[in-house]
Structure 1
Amino acid sequence: MPAPHPRLEELAQDLPEITAIRHQIHRHPELAFEETATADLVARKLREWGFEVATGVGTTGVVGTLKAGSGSRRIGLRADMDALAIEERTGLPYASTVPGKMHACGHDGHTSILLGAARYLARTRRFSGTLHLYFQPAEERGYDSGAERMLADGLFERFPCDAVFGLHNHPGAEVGSIMARKGASQPATDKVSIRVIGKGGHVARPHLTVDPSVVTASIVMALQTIVSRNVDATQTAVLSVCTLQSGGFYGVIPDEARVELSVRCFDPGVRDLLRERIEATVHGQAQSYGARAEIDYQTGYPALVNTDREVDFAVEVARELLGPERVDPDFGLVTAGDDFSFMLQRRPGCYLRLGNGLFNEPCHPVHHPRYDFNDDNLRTGAAYWSLLVERYLVD
């Protein structure tokens, strides 16, 4: 095995502090646009280390700025801060102290990694140019998200960058490995809420009702054919029923039922097709039973599209830090959405994946009540960000 990169050794002195920060954030999870304690912690640390700090960006976002040398280039790094409404079941000594909330996606790790890089870069200042660190709220929201609000609050006008980079941990891949992909890498994500309106009544006289449960069951089954029979087989699309609710009392046929869908794809044309077919299918199925349907189609995040030049650069830095055997420059599609896509619509950049552990190890997928970010990644991630900044911001 080759010797570890010196940067990994240099970050060792900061690891206890970074780990303590991560565990503190994990104990006190905050949901979308509630990240006040996390934002305060981030802002305090950045100020201690000599950054210029702006708070309240896009509601609870924080931006730290550090300049060194005379270089004119500018780089932006983003980390998300929000938690999820999930009851934690890890049993860890630093488990969530807030009932019904936990960091089940690793944003506590992402924030701590970026703070680790901030600490190192403030101490060494071996770069020439401007560094902006974007600590973003509300990535998990799915709509009206933290990235959207920060951009609407003038993020790139107030804190401009020539390129923007972000990362997300990836359970199922070796700890400390880095993956990237050119072009569309993560999907557009839409939410569909459907209300099926029938006619309720007594279960003993179903012929006098229009049973919304039966209508909804038919809709759910018909929806399963949309991807398989309408979308080009060479394209990727996902349509999942997330919520199905009907009735609440034994002996009663209800008046209505509700369904919620998650819809994901990578191609704008496929996105339009899915909406057209979902709406036609839902209305057609409802009408065939004498019921009617109301559809609330909520357009969420756009597809996340990495730019080729920035992917090549990010991969080159990863290979320098970790060696080529731990870097995958052509990683497969990831079907989870991320609002970093809004930033990539405004600036060139790259969103990377950082392996969080193989599933045959004690590793759980994100959004699982037993998920935990792997602390072994704190040093790797901080070393990677700091090296990326130094390689990008050169005279």
Structure 2
Amino acid sequence: MTQPPHGQWPPRGAVQPPPVHGQPPAQWQGAPHHFPPPPPRRSVGAIVAICLGAVAVLVLGLVAIVSLNRDDSDHVANAGYSTLPNTPSQAGLPPSGSSSPSSSTNPFPSSPTKAPSSSSGPQKILKLGDHPILQDPNAGLRNRVCTLPQWQSSQQAAEAFFTAAGKCLDNAWGPFLDAYDLPFTPPALHFPTGASFETECGTIQVGIATAAYYCENNLYVPFRGLQTDQYGNNPGVYLALFAHEYGHHVQEVAGLMDAAWQKIYDAGQNSPAGLEMSRRKELQAQCFSGMFLGAHVDQGGTVSRDMYNKAWNDQETRGDNTSRSQDHGTNAHYASWWRAGASNNRIADCNTFSAPSSAVS
């Protein structure tokens, strides 16, 4: 049994002039998007019997050039329900001459307690807020060099870019998850070229709403869905989108995704509780995406300050305010969770499942 698409990347709002320094941006508005109807609810027993099956993700991948370099001084930690003291850095952007905004001498768990392995090897841990990977306040991704090909808006160049990005993500998240004795395997990457493509979750039509799709440990990136003719040369924005999708793979490998889906099915996908659980899941993937870019910017590779800054600013243009949905979180929360991960590179800051409801609205 496969699971339905568990999340969609909200479309970007219309491009606005850069905000005046010190003032919040005007509300981004976008056209409504019609999502496919949810599938009928399955029984929880059936889901548990097969470890909750597959996970599919349809990501609305409309990306656009955002060249702002804003320097808000009140950047948010823990995704909108607490603030950090003011620091010399500008809104989490790495100051000139620094290493990374999230450099760490002890990025991995300080004293990981591995779950006992069964005779069949490492197993997922079906927990949410109390999941072991979310408990150590000092645990994060190692600062690494990530070298990517120069972005060009062509099928072949995009395949090379995302293939290299996938290797960087594997090298970042694989050792982290291995430290907790979780069954990490990289997702298989696919680059469909047609008007539709087949997955274990069904036939997916490629359109302006399909930039990436995750299903059953497979990550699909149809070049046509990126709309590069409209959204241009913005590798940082594309990288953040891809890292968000990969964040769902991290959730899947860890067992967070299965545990979240069990709660969603119990409550009903379109119930208030089910929609809130969907938002918690999506906002955590946002935070994981931010962690990745924060750990790799200014490390000597090709994840540049410009890429990081544009990804940083792009986040506030996405979310439920733009897509007029209720399953991703407001634009403000969509940005604040990404920035929490990018600023501090601490996975405990990505514990959306223990956050108050007001932080995931």
In terms of fraction of residues, the more strand-rich structure is: 1
| Interval of TM-score (by shorter of Structure 1 and Structure 2) | under 0.3
TM-score of the two chains, using structure 1 as the length reference: 0.26
With the length of structure 2 as denominator, give the TM-score of the two structures: 0.28
Greater Rg by CA? 1
